[in-house]
């Protein structure tokens, strides 16, 4: 007993279409610069060939905030909706939401 198999042909991979929410390279660059300025207080992401201009001291909470902003932008570009961020403090048992209000965390 044999089973006749049709030869399968693989279709050539199609180029990935840009979704309607995808950003152009220029828009992505503006987004990066905006996040750098708003969260890290870095005025430009252009190399200026001077250590005092190209290297920056930033706080870990600023880095975390910038990473969250980039993650949220990625979610929006993928068609998702970012959740309202909650920033936790180690010193207290309270969380501060994006609108600045504080709420007690449940352990």
CB neighbour list of residue 93: distance below 8 Å, 6 or more residues apart: 104, 105, 107
Average pLDDT over residues 26-34: 95
Q: What is the pLDDT of residues 43-101, one digit of tens each?
A: 999 999 999 999 999 999 999 999 999 999 999 888 887 766 555 445 444 455 554 54
Phi, psi for 94 (deg, rounded to 5): -125, 155
Q: Where are the domains of the chain?
A: 25-44+55-104
pTM beyond 0.75: no
């Amino acid at each position: 007993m044999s089973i006749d198999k049709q030869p399968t042909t693989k279709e050539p991979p199609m180029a990935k279409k840009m979704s309607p929410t995808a950003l152009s390279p220029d828009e992505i660059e503006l987004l990066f610069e905006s996040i750098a300025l708003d969260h890290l207080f870095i005025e430009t992401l252009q190399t200026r060939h001077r250590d005092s201009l190209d290297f920056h001291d930033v706080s870990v909470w600023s880095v975390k905030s910038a990473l969250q902003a980039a993650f949220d932008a990625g979610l929006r570009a993928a068609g998702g909706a970012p959740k309202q961020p909650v920033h936790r403090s180690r010193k207290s048992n309270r969380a501060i939401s994006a609108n600045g209000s504080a709420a007690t965390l449940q352990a």
